[in-house]
Structure 1
Amino acid sequence: MSDNTIIGASFEAAPLRSMLTVPAELAPAEDEIEQRLFKIRAADTAGRRSSANILINRRYAWRGYSTKPLPEEQSLDRITLVASDHAATIGTMSIGFDGASGLLVEQLFGAEVDALRRAGCRICEFTQLAMDNVPGSKRVLASLFHVAYIYAYRVKGFDSLLIEVNPRHVKYYERILGFKVLGPERMNPRVNAPAVLLSLDFRHTEKQIGRFGGNPQLSSTERSLYPYAFSIAEEAGIVGRLKSAGDAPRASS
């Protein structure tokens, strides 16, 4: 699509609606389309990266954290996604892939990262997560996470995810996504706050999406974010779109 939308989803409890091109005869009738949608895109323009930086700075400052701006341009080993409601950026997350430049998390947790490498894991990290306070924020967070997971696991073949979180948020991430503690509390100078290293095996994510994805009505009994994730069919569409685009959001021009 001309605006490089990866997926569009409803804020409401209706099933998520893919923005992928479909034949006209299969498109839903106008009165069946949920009008209030947010979109997930790559932050592959200066404007999107600026908007992501503004959101990151505002949300981190509110918690008393310091932060560094995103690089001026998208790179192959660090991709930023943004969720937008019309012109407003309401969520952002970056994906970092293990390679020649290493990972940000090994500044604090080098031994843990090296142990995963020795075990044959292909490691990535999710960083600079920021979410605005909007209705339907769980759906926005689940959609951002799912697109990042699709790109890292289904498209690029990375199988292990690492994140650094404040100690008081550990239980939250264990509950909503199935993370496990991998490294002890240490002071993170990048944000001037304590951090714990959490890990997630993407095979667990794959199973949970298979069980709950695309079924937001299950959120009344399932306490994780997975009911707010895309369905398997929608996931397959996103995989196809990313692969047809050359396995990566385009670099900024």
Structure 2
Amino acid sequence: MNSVASSHEARQQSVRSPSGAAHARRGFRGEILHHDFALRRNGYHLRIVPPHGPLRADVDRLIHRMYSWRGLTPYQGHDSPGQPIQTTLVACRGDRPFGTLTVGMDLGKGLLADTLYRTEIDSARSRGGQVCEVTRLAMDPEHSTPETLAAIFHLGFIIARLMHGMTDSYIEVHPRHTSYYRRTLGYRVAGPHLTCPRVGAPAVLMHLPLSHAETQALRYGGSTRTNSRNLYQLFLSPTEQRAVLNSLQGRHES
């Protein structure tokens, strides 16, 4: 469960190795996500966290600290047999992580959210949907900004939707946070209030059609508007989105 700026060009400093064809990659091909990828922004950068090593340990400590601060059980599940394919993203200032998010994609063995909400998620599967989830979201309020949150969600969207062809995203949140996700990203409540066993707290399932996110990102990404109710205006511009997608794909093809 889971508990801007000047001109957009100034916010992005560089995208490493922007090469390769700008087309969506279908299927579950984790090898195309190279762990040395970095998206540099205004004073911080986003990276993909490798399964093991110092950065993974630092991210785990961040999650433990942020979850414990909110009175939650710090769930530390990573990739393992029987779990979704998981890609963990991190926002860092220098070498210090201050924000993280994990995108889990169903490889036929389900999502973590199926523990409580299998019936609700199966409704998307029965329509031919490809389902994914957002988990292990943690942002240090001392260092994070709405722009950072938007950037890390946008990178997760690029990986889930544009690289793996996911159609439906789910997130388990505390009931008091539902209005925030509805207002800023367009999630809708999709399941009843229950207790999430992974973090030992009340939870509610929320659902986002990724076609909606795709439309909003293209419409508002890179906007100079200052409507704090819409995180999509803080997403990358369509041109920058293509550059990030090409960068991720180009490292596999080079």
Shorter-chain TM-score range: 0.7 to 0.9
Unpaired runs of 5+ residues, structure 2, are 19-39
For CA contacts below 8 A with separation 6 or more, give which structure has more relative contact order: 2
2:16 to 14, 20, 39: 20
| Alpha carbons 2:67, 2:73 under 8 Å: kept | yes
Contact 2:98 2:143 in 1 (8 A): no
Q: Report the counterpart of residue 42 of structure 1 in structure 2.
A: 48
Shift of 1:21: 4.2
Question: Relative to 1, partners in 2 of residues 1:226 and 1:47: Cα closer, same or farther, differing over 3 Å?
Answer: same
Distance 1:76 1:128, change over 3 A: closer
How many Å apart are 1:76 and its aligned residue? Answer: 8.2
> What TM-score do you get using the length of structure 1 for normalisation?
0.82
Aligned to 1:163, the other structure's residue is in SS state strand
- CA displacement at 1:72 relative to structure 2: 7.5
Q: How many residues align?
A: 225
Deviations 1:71-106 (A, max 9, x none): 378x98111111101011011011111113310000
Of the three residues 157, 165, 171, the one matched with 2:165 is 157
Q: Deviations over 1:187-218 (max 9, x none)?
A: 11111001000000111111111121112x31
Q: Give the counterpart letter for 1:243 in structure 2.
A: Q
1:123 CA displacement:
0.3
Alignment correspondent of 1:182? 190
Question: Partners in 2 of 1:129 and 1:237 — Cα distance?
Answer: 25
User: CA 1:41/1:62 → structure 2, altered by over 3 Å: closer, same or farther?
Assistant: same
Aligned AA (2:45): K
Question: Is the partner of 2:97 in helix, strand or coil?
Answer: strand
3-state SS in 1 of match to 2:107: coil
In 1, Cα distance between equivalents of 2:84 and 2:129: 20
Counterpart for residue 7 of structure 1: none
For 1:7-156, what aligned pairs fall within 5 Å after superposition? 12-15=5-8, 16-17=11-12, 18-21=14-17, 36-44=42-50, 45-71=52-78, 77-134=85-142, 137-156=145-164
Calculate the TM-score normalised by the size of structure 2: 0.82
Note if contact 1:213-1:226 (Cα within 8 Å) is conserved in structure 2. yes
Residue 197 (str. 1) matches residue 205 (str. 2): yes
- CA–CA distance in structure 1, aligned partners of residues 41 and 217 of structure 2: 25
Q: Structure 1: any 5+ residue segments left out of the alignment? A: 1-10, 23-33, 248-253
Question: After TM superposition, which residue ranges in structure 1, 4 or more long, deviate above 6 angstroms?
Answer: none
